[in-house]
Each structure stands twice: as structure tokens, then as C-alpha cells.
Chain A
């Protein structure tokens, strides 16, 4: 298995532009997580899905952020409009069983820079 796949790996955009990050979880995994990592705040959960349904989006910082999971093999995280403070590394992770204490498998991340 290729593991969790994220694209793009790097994104540089100007303030005000829309940014879409993409994730393909490991086949057969039922849970998908979006995280943001910065030096100041560490790794923070933004939202997570079980069986394609959003379960907890309390970590989404504001309405500019939205996430979708239209099917079991694809998810997007969109920021519109982007701001410089959104600059961070965004990770997608998947986990085998919904609602179980399983390990999470992380993708390589997308490094977002908003100028």
C-alpha cells in the first residue's frame, strides 16, 4: 500500500486566494483526520470523519476552513480566503476502525505558505 497520499506537497499562495488540499487515505481505513502543525501550537486536530461523515469539526479555526469527504478514498480541506496566519504544515491521517483506539497513519503533509 502507498500509505496516505497528500497533494500538493508544497503550496505558496497570496493572501486572499483559495487553497485546496487533497488527501487519499489508506484503502479500507474508516477514519480520516486533518491536522495542522506549527512551531507555536504543535499538532492540532482540525476535523475528523468516520465512514465519510464529519464527526468533530470543533478544531476548524473559522468559517474560512471547510472539509469534505465525498467518498471513502478522497478528502479535501479548503481555505477561502487564505491569510498569512494559515501558513503551516497540514497533515492528513487515516485509521483502520472508526471509534476504536487505533494508531493513525499520517501522510507526508502539505507545507502551505501564504504571503
Chain B
């Protein structure tokens, strides 16, 4: 069956360290993958999109990698800050079916301690 798994429900790190979040999938052939941030009581906010033929994408302190062989995406936040504390969701879009149809993981709650 198809599955998207984010490595852990919660991740606690110290300010200044690099946070690495994992998104694994099985039985999908994603055309692209997106990462979103969600704060309590709010809707998800788009961060980055990476296509299947791209290995890496960067935006300021954020970096996303996409390995279709390992069926995995890694999301890195360098020099993390307490303000980065939130839940981070990965989302896949697959070939076929309806374009724009995203399938979301359950998210990883990141806590950055000062």
C-alpha cells in the first residue's frame, strides 16, 4: 500500500544546530515534493518545492534534497532558531491522477531550545 512517513512525530534540538527532518515514501512515483510549515491554530504555509529531476533546493537557511532511489526527502534548517519551532509537513504529488493533488505526511513537530 502507499505510505508517506515522516521520521518522527517530534524532534528537539538546540538553537544554532542543524535540524534534519526526513520524509520517506513507498509505492509512489512522485513528480515533485513540497515542504510546508504549520504553526498551532494556523494553516500550513508553503516553504519549498523540489521536482523529481532535482537533487537539491535551497532557500535561505532551508535546504531540501530528493532521492528517488532511496524514496526519501530530507529537509534541513541550518543555524536553527526558537522561531523555527513548528510542525513541518512533506507533501507528494504523483504522476497520473489529478495534477495538483497533494498527499501529505503527518508532520514532524520541531522544537528548538534556546
**Known A42-B106, A42-B107, A43-B89; contact A104-B46, beta-carbon cutoff 8 A:** yes
Interface on chain A toward B: helix, strand, loop, or mixed SS? strand
Of the listed stretches A61-69, A77-85, A106-114, chain B binds A106-114
Q: B34's closest neighbor in chain A, by CB?
A: A103
How many B residues touch A, CB cutoff 8 Å?
Answer: 24
- CB-nearest residue of chain A to B33: A101
A101: contacting residue among B31, B44, B103, CB under 8 A = B31
Known: A42-B106, A42-B107, A101-B49. A106 touches B99 (CB 8 A): no
Query: Does A98 make an interface contact (CB < 8 A)?
Result: yes
**In this assembly, does B28 line the interface, its C-beta being within 8 Å of a C-beta of chain A?**
no
The A15-73 residues at the B interface (CB cut-off 8 A) are 31, 33, 42-45, 48, 50, 55-56
Q: Report the tally of A-B residue pairs with Cβ distances under 8 A.
A: 61
Q: What sequence of 0s and 1s flags, for each residue 102-114 of chain B, a beta carbon within 8 Å of any chain A beta carbon? A: 1111110000000
Interface size, chain A (Cβ < 8 Å): 26
Q: How far is the CB of A36 from chain B (nearest CB, A)?
A: 11
A55: chain B residues within 8 A (beta carbon): 98, 100
Say whether B100 contacts A98, CB under 8 Å.
yes
- The contact of B104 among A43, A108, A109, by CB within 8 Å, is A43
Residues of A close to B34: CB separation below 8 A: 103
Q: Which residues of A contact B (CB under 8 A)?
A: 4, 31, 33, 42-45, 48, 50, 55-56, 91, 93, 95, 98-109
